[in-house]
Chain A
């Protein structure tokens, strides 16, 4: 019943905020101009920014302790609720660790962009904690993950194959988001953040529906955004695989009851696999072929993605405006758009704009080549993974996919037994 209670609270809060009205409604312009949806929030004072980083650090420490040592699902839930309140409602979701990748990327490619130290903190702390303790950030410190975790009241599992196919999406999203951010065009992870509208009281209907859709899907299938969209999750997943300490399903010996496998809402439990030497031959030959094909996948990925550089580059305002100016030049008419009028008043020659657009397009061209090669490589590695088998005797969490939510703890009979024994020992003492 508790899960229904928590979920009801979360939905009620999100519903109230999504239907709230700004205190002063935006004016209606006769020209038809529509006030754009706010993309950024007001800057917080430096003290509060440091406070935010401190809170993040404390929460990461607490969550890591709860996941690795305390193994308390209940405590994880309460920490998640705090995270939603603090990072979601109070801090209105900005800066968040997910979006901070874009700031870091922009700062790497644009010397004139100075990245705030607090943003670096939001970017680096979760990575560091993941490297040490696995994805404890995803467990509930990330307010987006926390929201999805709380609404997951009827967990069902997706077919593995479908899950494998959908898991390509975060790589694609990450690649394109970084290309776009590195050219200074836009921060699309922030623009298309499905939950931020609930916390900021301002989002387009489309984004609100998108967010609501994800939450509704999340009732049945655990954390759809984390698993099939989150670009930050890609990096966390890599680091989690080599984490020094990672949570386990059971605190003692696994009795192979399969309960954890059934209970995991994100399909992150690896089953035991018995190895037969003769069967391994099946994979070896395929493995070799895929290894040889890796460079080809990479080059093909680069080639295909680079074909999209022109339409993709129009996301950048300069290229978009240049297309508009070229249209005006070709047609001998003015588009009449605000951007066009503003450009004409600057007195900058159109050729200068075209030249700037050319430079940006060149950045997109190489960006899409590199990004596409990365995607091709990831595809090859994904295929490679399907040809590798390793001996496993117990049920254990997949280090990359497990979000350390702790749901499996309460299903594990060994966990219960250990807890009862500990309790008894305490009583005896």
Chain B
């Protein structure tokens, strides 16, 4: 061993000891500090919380608590991290110290003389072998350490895709089973009575109820009102309220399950749904008094998957809007569970549509056309538009569509005795005959992940998406295009010759629906996820903070990503915690 290497080893040993001592002192100090003061249970926060309880409206104090809490948590986790990292550093330097001290204290090898050449040769080779073993051993250990420590941070996509496909196959096979059972049940019940059917739970159902267009417009039967067009026909809708102060709030009710679906209304009934990983519920309220009429737990749905799909927090398990035909109400959840209830809250029929393979979570809202329940059922595997019998749940038609997954909802354009269902996804905006499901036209014009639903007014269909473009289509042919202020989550709304769009950047733009020229554009501090609705000649849209932008502003007092529902003199809004009924008190 040459003296220079020994000297180097000695210095490395000194440095290693110094680092070990230094890190140990830091760790001991850190440990004492944590022992002495556990930041999460800090008394200062308790005192501040006590103060806040005394004066709950003190926003500054509330903010102060948040800051102190954040700092405390940061300090706590940083300390923990320091202890772990410190331990690792000490271990590394102990190993380094041992190696260097071993080198330093190793006996001077006898340099072979000329007569011992071969022995010297073996000595050199033996040393080489030893160091090869050591270096390759260290490299292997580092590789193993890295592989085990990084395993959780990386995905095995082969397994990941295989798992999702497996769960899809299981769901599809169970769905088919349930469908055949339902078909048998429906054959049995059709013979029993023409006007009345009794399901296995004993709920009385009026079959084949067909709501008139006038009835649909008089109520608010689905997401964005009748036919999903975003236009409300109720008069005297309120323009001023303050949810936090209770101004003009007729009633408000907390909902025990979260959801992003918006309320729907029929007569005195208000329907809304909520769900989490374990529970799914449909709520019915008296829309005038705010009292609960009933709550239905959506359980024991035939074919319902045992495990729930992964959904994003921003979508949740109940983003799809409900729909009602005046006698039955329909709700669908991220699990693919579809339920039909009568107005007493009794289950008429239910089925699972197959667990959607949807990376954010299923969110398309339902629509009703005559005796058909219209479902846009797009996922990563297939894109379908399906019509089920409202009374039995039996499939009437099922049309497969080209293109990619979407999160938008269908709209219905009534044309006298016939109607078109307009849907969009990437890259198509398409129209289907509501009676037969046959495709009328489709236009290849969109791209990206489609969230916004189409809009319609005066013969023009409007479709838009972020990073793509805005299009006005007449019978599938492009009339004009736009490229600015495109919506991402909310849907456009068209009213007479006006087109309104909002987006999550906080822009509201009003355009001439005929040629796409911009009348006005306004930017707001908070973005819009909920869709705009035209009611009583005014544009209503709720920003993410819960402020409704009308002509002036009305504050809800809590966050909201939903779309309002309207009845005469009242507006119903789902906030983050409560369901509000607003009118004039």
Q: Which residues of A are interface residues toward B (Cβ below 8 A)?
A: 159-162, 164-165, 168, 172, 272-276, 279, 282-283, 300, 304-305, 307-308, 310-311, 313-314, 319, 322-323, 325-326, 329-333, 341, 344-352, 354-355, 357-359, 361-362, 379, 382-383, 386-387, 389
Q: Given A314-B154, A349-B405, A354-B161 in contact, is the A332-B132 Cβ separation under 8 Å?
A: no
Q: Which chain A residues border B312 with CB–CB below 8 Å?
A: 329-333
Excluding A304-B144, A349-B380, A357-B157, 12 further A-B contacts by CB distance (< 8 Å) are A159-B5, A162-B131, A273-B118, A304-B140, A307-B148, A310-B155, A329-B359, A345-B448, A351-B164, A354-B161, A358-B161, A379-B136
Q: Are A332's CB and B122's CB within 8 A?
A: no
Kindly state the separation between the CA atoms of A341 and B380 in the bound complex, as whole angstroms: 19
Interface residues in B122-141 (C-beta closer than 8 Å to A): 122, 124-129, 131-133, 135-136, 139-140
Q: Given A161-B127, A332-B313 in contact, is the A349-B404 Cβ separation under 8 Å?
A: yes
Q: Which chain A residues border B128 with CB–CB below 8 Å?
A: 160-161, 164-165, 386
Q: Which chain A residues border B136 with CB–CB below 8 Å?
A: 168, 379
Tell me the smallest distance from the CB of B487 to a CB of chain A, in Å.
14
CB contact between A274 and one of B118, B126, B314, B467 (< 8 Å): that residue: B118
Q: Are A386's CB and B468's CB within 8 A?
A: no
Interface residues in B291-348 (C-beta closer than 8 Å to A): 310-315
Kindly state the separation between the CA atoms of A332 and B359 in the bound complex, as whole angstroms: 9
CB contact between A279 and one of B118, B140, B157, B427 (< 8 Å): that residue: B118
Asked if B151 is at the interface (CB within 8 A of a chain A CB), the reply is yes
Q: Are A310's CB and B380's CB within 8 A?
A: no
Asked if B278 is at the interface (CB within 8 A of a chain A CB), the reply is no
Q: Are A310's CB and B313's CB within 8 A?
A: no
Q: Are B132's CB and A386's CB within 8 A?
A: yes
Q: Which chain B residues border A330 with CB–CB below 8 Å?
A: 310, 312
The 5 closest A-B pairs by CB, nearest first: A332-B312, A307-B147, A347-B426, A358-B157, A358-B158
Q: Are A311's CB and B121's CB within 8 A?
A: no
Q: Are B121's CB and A389's CB within 8 A?
A: yes
Tell me the smallest distance from the CB of A154 to a CB of chain B, in Å.
16
Q: Which chain B residues border A329 with CB–CB below 8 Å?
A: 310, 312, 359-360
Q: Which chain B residues border A319 with CB–CB below 8 Å?
A: 157
Q: Are A346's CB and B447's CB within 8 A?
A: yes
Kindly state the separation between the CA atoms of A273 and B120 in the bound complex, as whole angstroms: 10
Tell me the smallest distance from the CB of B119 to a CB of chain A, in Å.
7
Kindly state the separation between the CA atoms of A30 and B314 in the bound complex, as whole angstroms: 30
Q: Which chain B residues border A161 with CB–CB below 8 Å?
A: 124, 127-128, 131
Q: Are A351's CB and B357's CB within 8 A?
A: yes
Asked if B193 is at the interface (CB within 8 A of a chain A CB), the reply is no
7 sampled A-B residue pairs with Cβ under 8 A? A160-B124, A161-B128, A164-B131, A274-B118, A307-B148, A332-B360, A361-B156
Q: Which chain A residues border B161 with CB–CB below 8 Å?
A: 351, 354-355, 358
Q: Which chain A residues border B135 with CB–CB below 8 Å?
A: 165, 168
Instruction: Write the chain A residue with the least CB distance to B150.
Output: A311
Q: Which chain A residues border B119 with CB–CB below 8 Å?
A: 279
Asked if B160 is at the interface (CB within 8 A of a chain A CB), the reply is yes
Q: Are B118's CB and A275's CB within 8 A?
A: yes
Instruction: Write the chain A residue with the least CB distance to B1.
Output: A159
Q: Which chain A residues border B381 with CB–CB below 8 Å?
A: 351
Q: Which chain B residues border A341 with CB–CB below 8 Å?
A: 467
Q: Given A310-B151, A329-B310 in contact, is the A165-B427 Cβ separation under 8 Å?
A: no
Tell me the smallest distance from the CB of B470 to a CB of chain A, in Å.
15
Instruction: Write the chain A residue with the least CB distance to B130.
Output: A161
Tell me the smallest distance from the CB of A61 to a CB of chain B, in Å.
37
Q: Are B467's CB and A361's CB within 8 A?
A: no
Asked if B2 is at the interface (CB within 8 A of a chain A CB), the reply is yes
Asked if B66 is at the interface (CB within 8 A of a chain A CB), the reply is no
Q: Are A389's CB and B129's CB within 8 A?
A: no
Tell me the smallest distance from the CB of B405 to a CB of chain A, in Å.
6
Asked if B449 is at the interface (CB within 8 A of a chain A CB), the reply is yes
Q: Which chain B residues border A273 with CB–CB below 8 Å?
A: 117-118, 121
